[in-house]
Amino acid sequence: MAENGFGLVEHGSLDPRIRRTRLLLHQALEKLLVEKEFDKISVQDIAEAATLNRATFYDHYADKYALLECVVAVRFSGLLAKRGVGFDGGCASALRAMVLGVCDYLAEVPRMECERQMQMEPHMETAVISVVRRMLLQGLEKHRSQNGLPSAFLASAVSWAMFGAAKEWVRTPGRCSSEAMADDIMGLLGPMLSGAFEATPA
């Protein structure tokens, strides 16, 4: 199976040595993020922490930003998988579970609101939105559009809206619970999806 943009593949479809090397790089970056700010971490720091050389790092990732996006995508995908979240294109409860997953993930990210970590935010955003968009697209492609709207267009619009609303919620002082916010976001996303697709006959 081909990899997606973050180097994620189905279990067992990647060479064990490659999988081990990427795991070492992920763990190295996560460890370094506890110790210092992202903008102070170099590729050399990551390679040394992973007991690898710079050439090996670049065999797997273009730069530290690509590695960060992969780390975020793997963690977020894992959170959704642990919760059994999936989307078949028509189940509101599954969509709400995805929304709740985004809210909870962003709320749990260490120092999310710290200005010193602002370099990380665009890459976290890219990774989470990509995972959500991919899941939405897989579900929507099981249905027939009723208005000619491409499923990719709708998946992109919904994933950006979902992340944007969750991001604003995280930044709101005295915010409501993630459960309550998930209900509010569903009120926003419902009209975007409602009536756009109909089930494809078997």
| Topology annotation, domain 66-197 | Tetracycline Repressor; domain 2 (1.10.357)
- DSSP conformational letter for 200: P
- Does the pLDDT at position 23 exceed 60? yes
Give bridge partners of residue 143 from the DSSP assignment: 199
Q: What integer is the mean pLDDT of 158-168?
A: 94
pLDDT of residue 146: 67
Quote the Cα angle for 169-170-172, to 5°.
65
Q: What integer is the mean pLDDT of 47-51?
A: 97
Query: In the numeric block, which tokens belong to residue 131?
Result: 């995972």
Higher pLDDT, 25 or 84: 25
Sign of dihedral through CA atoms 73, 96, 10, 34? positive
> What tens digit of pLDDT does each residue of 96-123 get?
999 999 999 888 876 544 555 667 788 8
| Topology annotation, domain 16-61 | Arc Repressor Mutant, subunit A (1.10.10)
| pTM metric for this prediction | 0.75
Q: What integer is the mean pLDDT of 183-193?
A: 88
Closest of 133, 140, 131 to residue 159, by C-alpha: 133
- Does the pLDDT at position 124 exceed 70? yes
| Helical ranges in 143-195 per DSSP H | 151-170, 178-193
Query: How do the domains of the chain map onto residue ranges?
Result: 16-61, 66-197
> What tens digit of pLDDT does each residue of 3-22 get?
434 444 334 456 889 999 99
